Each structure stands twice: as structure tokens, then as C-alpha cells.
Amino acid sequence: MTGLAGFLRKELLEIRRTWRIWVLPGIVLFFALTGPVLARFTPELLQAIGPQDAGFVIEVPDPTYVHAYQQWTQNLTQIVTFALIIMLGGVVAGERKSGTAVLMLTKPLSRSGFILAKFVAQSALLVSTLLVGAAVTWGVTWAMFGEAPLRPLGAATGVWLVWALMFVALMLLLSAMLGAQAGAAGLGVAVFIMLSIPSAWETAARFSPAGLLGAPGRLVTGQPVYLAWPLLTTFALTALTLGGAIVVFNKKEL
């Protein structure tokens, strides 16, 4: 894969030197820090802002580490996924628009190498961000509740990572295909919504990537989760989408 290593190095340096190092890690760390705190004080907050009339009672269960973990998984599956989609809308389109792709691709860097380097670099950012975010969530949860089992948190975060990697590949495809950041991001959000709908239908959730959307929440609450087919189909779709991005980009005239 000609030029892959050199271009990957540039991708990683670009993440470190530009806004990319702040956006996704910033959002994830913010939720990692605030999620457990919010879970811990939500009952008091509700009591404080509720009506003070005599006889009105708000029944809120005592918060536990599970609530903190639920906050974490909800934020991942919604806000962080949206942020990822919007952030990656210009991952290829931006280089085409600015003309940098032309200078890179007239050197011994194949278009496959161009796409793969971006996938590896963005995945590396995602993995490292999630590792730090999960560690912070675990630490703050332990500090707030005195209890923070690693296994459910690790499993839920890992499952979401597989889901997110599929979106990294998808956004590479859409960004290569459409050539416009806003268009790619819009279509990415549309795909996310389309996958969210069948996630509520058990049969679809059991046998397709849609099953991974609700899986992190179920894992932290100890509910049964069917992971084999959702994971398998998500890996397959990730590989197909990544291959599609390479094929589409190979056919594009720059």
C-alpha cells in the first residue's frame, strides 16, 4: 500500500494539531465527567425544582452506579454519534475542496491508501478517546457511588465502539461520494435515524447492526442482549462500506 505510512503519519499529526483533538475528546470527556455527577444528584434536583405543595411526592429511586453508566451509554449512542457524523462529514470532501488531495494523490499514495489511512487515524482517535472517557466515567462513578464494576462499563463501551467504527467507514463513503461536508453529514444523520427505527423491533435488532444501538444500555442494566448477529453484521457492513469508499473514491475525478 504505497504511501500509506507517510500519509497516516500526517493524519495523526493533523488530529493532534487541529480542532480535531478538541471536538470529539472534549465532548466525550465532558459527558464522562458530568454523567455520574448528574446521575448522583438528579433525585435532589428533581425534589428541589418540583412543586412544594403539601402532599405532592416525587418517587425517585436511589441513584446507583447503574444510573451513571446509563448516562454514559445514552450520551454515546446519541450526542457522541451525532458529533462523530458531523465531524467526519468533511473527512474526504474537505481535502478535495481545499486541493490538498490533488497534491497527495499525484505522489505514490494510492487512493486506497488515502482512505485506509483516514480510517485508521479516525479509529485511533475514537478508540483512545473512548478509553480515556470510559476510565474517567469509571473513576467519577466510583467517587460518587463507591461502587463501579468494570465489566458492564467495558462491555457497553466496546459494543458502542463497534457501532461507531461502522459510522467512521460510512462517513468515509459518504464524504468521498458527495464531496460536500454538509451533504455527507446530513446523509449520515439520515442513516443513523433509519437504523434507530428498526432497533425497536426485536427481530431486526437481533439480526442486524440496529441491535447494537440499544445494546450498551441493556448491558449496563444487566438485561439480556443478543450480540452475535448484530456484531457480525456490523463488522461485515463496516468492511463493505470501507471497500465501497475505496471503490467510489477510485472512480472520482479530481
Partner 1 sequence: MIPAIELRDLTKVYRTVRALDGVDLEVPQGSVYGFLGPNGAGKTTALRILSGLSRPTSGSAHVLGNDTTLHPDQVRGVIGFLPDVPGFYSWMTGEEFLRLSGRLFGLSGRVLDQRVGALLDLAGLSGVETKVGGYSRGMRQRLGVAQALINAPRVLMLDEPTSALDPIGRRDVLDMIAGLAGRTTVFFSTHILSDVERVCDRVAILHRGRLAAQASIDDLKARHGIHKVRLTVRGPARELAAVLQSAPWATHVEHPEDDCLELSVQDLAAAQVAIPREIAALGIGLRRLEAVELSLEDVFVDLVGSGLP
Shortest distance, CB of residue 180 to partner 1, whole angstroms?
A: 16
Task: Using the minimum distance from each CB to partner 1, give the nearer residue, 76 or 101.
Answer: 101
Residue 19 or 201 having the CB closest to partner 1:
19
- Closest distance to partner 1 from the beta carbon of 247 (Å): 15
Q: Does 154 bind partner 1 (CB under 8 A)?
A: no
CA angle 79–82–86, rounded 5-degree value:
140
Choosing from 24, 28, 80, 109, the residue that interacts with partner 1 (CB under 8 A) is 109
- Interacting residues of 203 by C-beta distance below 8 A, sequence separation 6+: none
Maximum Cα–Cα distance for the chain, whole Å? 76
Nearer residue to partner 1 within complex by CB, 1 or 236: 1
- Residue with smaller CB distance to partner 1, 50 or 99: 99
User: What CA–CA distance (Å, rounded) separates 125 from 25?
Assistant: 8
- From the list 213, 220, 218, the residue with the least C-alpha distance to 65 is 220
Q: Which is nearer to partner 1, 5 or 45 (CB)?
A: 5
- From the CB of 100, what's the least distance to partner 1, in Å? 4
Given a contact cutoff of 8 angstroms between Cβ atoms, the answer to whether 172 and 119 are in contact is: yes
Site string for partner 1, 1-40 (x = CB under 8 A): -xx-xxx-xx---x--xx----------------------
What x-and-dash track marks residues 68-107 binding partner 1 by CB under 8 A? ---------------------------x--xxxxxxxxxx
How many residues touch partner 1 under the rule CB under 8 A: the total is 26
Residue with cell 467510489: 248
* Closer CB to partner 1, 21 or 132, in the complex: 21
Q: CA-to-CA distance for 42 and 71, rounded, in angstroms?
A: 11
68-85 burial by CB neighbour count: b if 16+ within 10 A, else e? bbbbbbbbbbeebbebbb
What residue type is assigned to position 252 of the chain? Answer: K
How near is the Cβ of 99 to partner 1 at its closest, in Å?
2
CA pair distance 38, 218, nearest whole angstrom? 20
- Write out the residues near partner 1 by the rule CB under 8 A: 2-3, 5-7, 9-10, 14, 17-18, 95, 98-110, 253-254
